[in-house]
Structure 1
């Protein structure tokens, strides 16, 4: 399963790996003229592929010569330690036990890519995420990296993404085609905006592809793809097919 999730490494010539490289390019253009270092990835609901997306994007940035830190801030259902096959010690150890960041960091999981996993699941994830300690940790871990990518919980499930979104330079919303309604995506967008997050755009994941040898879809990157006009247009198209 992990081999599929890290397709950028395991099948670098595949169309999906190329799509992740396109996402990398779009993010680099999004940062033109301003600092874009701390980038959060989230989704509306669980299961939309945000963790797979951010891990592959982290790899593509590292392969491009950038020094990258991937941080698993999903303190409820963390998966990055499983994807990369490392022990789960990290964020919560730093926040709750005052363990030094360098002591729990997983350096060079791939060349130019360091990993900070979530650590043990705490009883109070929202309090930890919204704490001053979390803000201080983010400032500390950013030193020496070109990009710090934060894997956040789904927006509609918990408040964590809204709490952390405004501390980052930008937020990317991952949407799995056919899994969520336009209304759910709009609600996720509203909650992020209410938390003063800078929404960079949307990764549309799981789009069906004809004649594909893979069991999962192609991903695309759009800036502000799910605006109100698009949602209305989508609704009209859906009605016309009924």
Structure 2
């Protein structure tokens, strides 16, 4: 009688002896031992769609697997303004330390159970931060044109890369003053205390810390995206399953930690 194969999970980069995933918490689960750099994120817009875990697994760095919420994983398109970038205890970098950013991100977990994000692309409208982040952390930054504008209570983000094909994205939102309480899915997507990346043949975890998120009620009026397919995933079909607006918060990043399984 032929042997029946066991049901499989997304196989790419599966690491042995995984610990259970850490709980999703609104505050960092551990303190930063040392602050490598600081920054302030403002006017964040999060758009999310479901993604195929098997396809996502092939896009993650070795030593990580897709992080799942109720059996599903997601791809995020995130727009925001970064301000007051500073290193260690130094004062913020003038001019070059403030810029627009749009990123495509996936959700990961490592063998120690730490939940993180994996950036498939990060579009930025300052060239020097693009070159620095690529060289220092292996992050896939792209030099782009990004514009941000408020029109009464409506927020518009647009971006286009400075490449021949000019892939870009746009988000147009109506933002209200009333606060909203995030649900379990929104907490899963935004309570992330580090990122996973690979550089020079090794996967690392870069921890971060910030206050608890505050969100405001918002309505997505219109959107366009060519960045998710440019990042190796299918073009989103239909409206996002989660739309969030956050006014912003200060963020600190610690020193990179090498994954033991990489």
Smaller-chain TM-score bracket: under 0.3
TM value normalised by structure 2? 0.25
TM value normalised by structure 1? 0.26
Report which of the two has the higher share of strand: 2
Report which of the two has the higher share of helix: 1
Larger Rg: 2
